[in-house]
């Protein structure tokens, strides 16, 4: 993986943590209303795996997710990007919302790269 500045690492980790908190809140609210929570749960789990992968790459914190878990999480996270890009396009330049979306997109890009790298490493071990 390419060298990533400490500021970018910090912002990306915080962005993933923020996304997880947002999804946890949505999951609880939807559960209380009796709504279908399947998609939110899938995205929440994918974000948790994404955060674990970044922490593994950048901080040496080991995760125990399988190759199948990484593939599923990567697919779910990549599916979020078009929606975030659409929101980004509608946001005002210099707004806090735009900054949040920029950081989220950057974090997802880092997660994607880290997951691809870990999936490749795991394949080469066998």
Q: pTM of the full predicted structure?
A: 0.91
Q: Give the per-residue pLDDT at 121.
A: 81
Task: Please report, in tens digits, the pLDDT of each residue of the chain (126 residues total).
Answer: 567 889 999 999 999 999 999 999 999 999 999 999 999 999 999 999 999 999 999 999 999 999 999 999 999 999 999 999 999 999 999 999 999 999 999 999 999 999 999 999 865 444
CATH number at residue 47: 1.20.1440
Q: Give the per-residue pLDDT at 126.
A: 41
Residue 1 inside a domain? The answer is no
Q: Give the per-residue pLDDT at 3.
A: 75
Report DSSP letters for 15-63, one per residue: HHHHHHHHHHHHHHHHHHHT---HHHHHHHHHHHHHHHHHHHHHH----
Residue 126 inside a domain? The answer is no
Q: Give the per-residue pLDDT at 125.
A: 44
Residue 61 inside a domain? The answer is yes
DSSP state at residue 92: P
Q: Give the per-residue pLDDT at 4.
A: 82
Residue 99 inside a domain? The answer is yes
Contact (Cβ atoms closer than 8 angstroms) between residue 71 and residue 120:
no
Q: Give the per-residue pLDDT at 122.
A: 60
All residues at 6 or more sequence positions from 9 whose CB lies less than 8 Å from its CB, including other chains? 54, 58
- Parent domain of 65: 6-121
Residue 100 inside a domain? The answer is yes
Number of domains the chain contains: 1
Per the rule left: phi > 0, alpha: psi between -120 and 50, beta: everything else, 55 is: alpha
């Amino acid at each position: 993986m390419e060298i990533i500045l400490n500021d970018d690492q910090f912002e990306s980790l915080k962005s993933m943590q923020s996304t997880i908190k947002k999804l946890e809140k949505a999951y609880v609210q939807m559960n209380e209303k009796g709504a279908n929570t399947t998609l939110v749960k899938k995205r929440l789990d994918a974000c948790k795996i994404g955060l674990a992968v970044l922490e593994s790459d950048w901080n040496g914190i080991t995760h125990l997710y399988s190759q199948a878990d990484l593939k599923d999480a990567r697919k779910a996270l990549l599916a979020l990007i078009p929606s975030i890009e659409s929101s980004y396009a509608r946001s005002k330049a210099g707004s806090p919302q735009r900054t949040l979306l920029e950081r989220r997109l950057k974090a997802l890009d880092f997660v994607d790269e880290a997951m691809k790298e870990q999936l490749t490493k795991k394949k080469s071990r066998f």
